């Protein structure tokens, strides 16, 4: 777990953002742990809720994730019964949908995720949190082109 007393302020934007991402991921993982999900799994389930039947490529692009890591995570989630693979138009492509167990875990995780959201807003302030999220999304969009 991250120890703020041991932190190093780095001059590199990338390293600083990765440092922040690791810290906030630890907080959200701890928050949703009771629902037997990681924040990555919760995020993927949320994305599949928005884009049912998405392909690995679609999810990797939408979430700016490495395709190999994403495929491995999806397979683990499938083994846990959280998602299921459905046949696409082309038999070679896998499309993913949320399974009943995944929906149930998302429902259990939602109040914990909401509490994590409120904790971040309490720490930074609502306006600053929204501004940070908007800036992070803009950075992702601009650098991802």
| pLDDT tens per residue across span 99-113 | 999 999 999 999 999
Coil, helix or strand at residue 138: helix
Q: What is the DSSP letter of 6?
A: G
Q: What is the DSSP letter of 34?
A: G
- Name the pTM for this structure: 0.89
Rounded Cα gap, residues 1 and 14, in angstroms: 20
**What are φ and ψ of residue 120, in 5° steps?**
-65, -45
Architecture (CATH level 2) of domain 12-143:
Orthogonal Bundle (1.10)
Coil, helix or strand at residue 55: strand
* Residue of 9, 69, 79 lying closest to 43 (CA atoms): 69
Annotated domain spans of the chain: 12-143
Separation of first and last alpha carbons in the chain: 34
* Structure confidence by residue, pLDDT tens digits, 14-61: 999 999 999 999 999 999 999 999 999 999 999 999 999 999 999 999
Task: Give the other-Cβ count within 10 Å of 88's Cβ.
Answer: 12
DSSP H helical ranges for 33-125: 39-50, 56-63, 67-79, 100-124
């Amino acid at each position: 777990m991250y120890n703020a007393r041991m932190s190093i302020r780095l001059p590199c934007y990338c390293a600083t953002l990765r440092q922040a991402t690791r810290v906030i991921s630890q907080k959200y993982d701890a928050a949703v742990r009771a629902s037997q999900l990681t924040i990555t799994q919760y995020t993927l389930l949320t994305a599949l809720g928005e884009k049912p039947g998405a392909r690995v490529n679609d999810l990797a692009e939408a979430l700016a994730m490495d395709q190999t890591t994403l495929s491995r995570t999806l397979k683990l989630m499938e083994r846990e019964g959280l998602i299921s693979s459905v046949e696409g138009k082309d038999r070679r492509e896998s499309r993913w949908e949320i399974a009943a167990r995944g929906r149930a875990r998302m429902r259990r995780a939602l109040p914990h995720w909401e509490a994590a959201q409120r904790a971040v807003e309490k720490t930074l302030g609502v306006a600053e949190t929204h501004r940070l999220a908007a800036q992070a999304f803009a950075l992702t969009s601009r650098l991802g082109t």
